Structure 1
Amino acid sequence: MANYVIGDVQGCLDSLLTLLDKIRFNPKNDTLWFAGDLVNRGPRSLDTLRFIKNLGENAHTVLGNHDLHLLALWCNSGRSHESDTIAEVVNAPDGEELVDWLRGQPLALRLPVVDNTLNGALLTHAGLLPQWSFDDALALSDEVRQVLSGPDWQAFMAELYGNKPNRWEQSLEGFDRLRLIVNVFTRMRMMRDDGKIDFKYKLEPADAPPELKPWFELERGFSGEGPIVFGHWSTLGQLKNKAGYCLDTGCVWGGQLTALRLEDEAIIQVDAVEPPLPTIP
């Protein structure tokens, strides 16, 4: 019995199946935890969603920005991009069923404690603000989950896109509050010393302007909490960092698909099977 956390799949189902074969995944005993971005840009978004959904309780996921983009396109609230490969989900006969399953997923999950290896790690797609505890993160994730899984979710999707507000205040309300929570969990990479989030810089931290720092370099005030496992940052160039692990190793760009086994913190990787996309955004 083993637990594996897997980085951004982005519709690269053939690479995922190759990775599961390498780890000898047994759905009767093993559990998969996905770091979000199950879909988009890769060639098999529809099949990827169907496969992971059909694993039932043997697979768990947090939402990534591309997953939310699919939800927005479903309700005509998002602008499609040339690189999108999710129209097949929107047009599928089981598209509504898949969308309903996806919008019921959280933005943050606490990973299981296994032999005290990772000490109760937190899983998110992009990261965590330094002033949020794990309990805060799970409560804020639940705020968004209640809206996304509720009857008025399409009204929120119409207000999803935007970079403001870019600094957390507990007093935030309404769509501004929800938008910032979503942006932190699914889009954040770099922050400024004044607590503002920069949503534009996407490359390696070493090449960033001096006023920007990776979110995981900022000091957290919560002793005793476990590491943070995330994806989203294919250009980061490192797996282990001050916060925990980044598992996005650019599969859709011709890199690798990565799994972290919780029992011993082993890293298992396979080279991308799908043809790479031409450029990193």
Structure 2
Amino acid sequence: MSTFAIGDLQGCLSPFEALLDTIGFNPDRDQLLLAGDLVNRGPDSLGTLRRVYELRDNVRVVLGNHDLHLLALAHGHARPKSKDTLAPILDAADRDTLLGWLRGQPLLVEVPEFDAVMAHAGLPPLWTLEQARQRAAEIAGVLADPQSADIFFSQMYGNDPAGWRDDLTGPTRWRVITNYFTRMRFVDRQGDLDLTTKGEADQPPAGFVPWFEHPDRLDTGCRVLFGHWAALEGRSGVAGVEALDTGCVWGGCLTALRLDDDARFRCDC
């Protein structure tokens, strides 16, 4: 049995199928860890979501910002963006099955057999693993309740507050937790987020650093698997921090990391 961690699919079904062939994926023995952003921007978001759903017994998924955008659209709390490729999902006969499954996925997955954790954008540098675990579970509980989920999606969008405060409550607290797990790239010394800069890690805004280079980043004792940041091209430069998004939807490639031996496999988009 092998376990493969795979970066952002973003609706790129053909490269996903090609990557499964390249790694010799066998559903009778292998497991997949998908780093979120299953859908959007790519040519076949519906087919990709259906394929992942078919493989659900072999897959562990974390939610990414594009997955949450899809759910917000479905709840009527967002407007389609010009580059969205989500309409076929929203119009599909099996949309309720697919979206119900997606809404049940977490923000954080722990992989104790490999001393690893996975979150779409990474692990906030000033949070302990227990704090991250509790805050991710809090959002999972919100999404599990239809009424709370509707409130969540109605107030999910926004960059404020910029960072964590212990006195945050309600939808504001939920938004900050979600921003850390699904949108984080650059943070300042206090751990506050810059959510407008999307470029190279070596070109941070003044006073900010990539989250994995924070000088006071807490040692959680585990490897961190994440996607979201295609500009990294699969390289964080920090031991134990595994970048998986290699920009398939932007013409790059789709990457799988075999956790059993750290071998990397890639298929061009």
TM-score above 0.5: yes
SS of 1:184's partner is: helix
For 1:30 and 1:237, the matched residues in 2 are separated by 25
- 2:119 equivalent among 124, 142, 145: 124
Q: Is the 8 A contact 2:126 2:191 kept in 1?
A: no
Which residue of structure 2 lines up, in the alignment, with residue 278 of structure 1? none
Which residue of structure 2 lines up, in the alignment, with residue 270 of structure 1? 267
Structure number with higher helix proportion: 2
Give per-residue Cα distances to partners, 1:220-265, cap 9 Å, x unaligned. Answer: 5644611111000001244243251110000000001000101011
TM, length-normalised to structure 2: 0.95
For 2:117 and 2:137, the matched residues in 1 are separated by 14
Which residue of structure 2 lines up, in the alignment, with residue 100 of structure 1? 100
SS of 2:266's partner is: strand
Is 1:32 the counterpart of 2:69 in the alignment? no
For 1:27 and 1:238, the matched residues in 2 are separated by 26
Comparing 48-57 and 97-106, the one that deviates more: 48-57
Q: Is the 8 A contact 1:122 1:228 kept in 2?
A: yes
SS of 1:205's partner is: coil
SS of 1:50's partner is: helix
Q: Is the 8 A contact 2:151 2:171 kept in 1?
A: no
2:84 maps to a residue whose letter is D
2:58 maps to a residue whose letter is N
SS of 1:70's partner is: helix
Is 1:211 the counterpart of 2:207 in the alignment? yes
Which residue of structure 2 lines up, in the alignment, with residue 276 of structure 1? none
SS of 2:177's partner is: helix
SS of 2:33's partner is: strand
For 1:194 and 1:60, the matched residues in 2 are separated by 32
For 2:23 and 2:158, the matched residues in 1 are separated by 39
In structure 2, stretches of 5+ residues that fail to align are none
Q: Superposition pairs for residues 219-238 of structure 1, below 5 Å?
A: 219-220=215-216, 222-223=218-219, 225-238=221-234
What's the Cα RMSD here? Answer: 1.3
For 1:220 and 1:136, the matched residues in 2 are separated by 16
For 1:135 and 1:19, the matched residues in 2 are separated by 34
Give per-residue Cα distances to partners, 1:52-101, cap 9 Å, x unaligned. Answer: 11112201100000000000100110121110001111110010111110
1:151 maps to a residue whose letter is P
The offset of 1:132, in angstroms, is: 1.1
Give per-residue Cα distances to partners, 1:165-220, cap 9 Å, x unaligned. Answer: 11111221101110000000000100122332100000002223342210110145
1:82 maps to a residue whose letter is S
For 1:230 and 1:224, the matched residues in 2 are separated by 15
- 1:133 equivalent among 128, 138, 141: 128
For 1:241 and 1:206, the matched residues in 2 are separated by 11
Q: Superposition pairs for residues 135-154 of structure 1, below 5 Å?
A: 135-152=130-147, 153-154=149-150
Is 1:45 the counterpart of 2:23 in the alignment? no
Which residue of structure 2 lines up, in the alignment, with residue 180 of structure 1? 176
For 2:225 and 2:111, the matched residues in 1 are separated by 9
Is 1:246 the counterpart of 2:243 in the alignment? yes
TM, length-normalised to structure 1: 0.92
For 1:223 and 1:44, the matched residues in 2 are separated by 39
Runs of 4+ in 1 over 3 A off after TM superposition: 219-224
Is 1:54 the counterpart of 2:54 in the alignment? yes
1:95 maps to a residue whose letter is R
Comparing 124-133 and 10-19, the one that deviates more: 124-133
For 1:12 and 1:124, the matched residues in 2 are separated by 20
SS of 2:4's partner is: strand
For 2:10 and 2:263, the matched residues in 1 are separated by 22
In structure 1, stretches of 5+ residues that fail to align are 115-119, 273-281
Is 1:157 the counterpart of 2:153 in the alignment? yes
Comparing 231-240 and 37-46, the one that deviates more: 231-240
Which residue of structure 2 lines up, in the alignment, with residue 192 of structure 1? 188
Residues paired across the two proteins, number: 267
| Structure 1 residues 17 and 249, CA gap change in structure 2 (3 angstroms) | same
For 2:131 and 2:220, the matched residues in 1 are separated by 15
For 1:54 and 1:195, the matched residues in 2 are separated by 38
2:258 maps to a residue whose letter is R
Percentage of matched positions with identical amino acids: 45
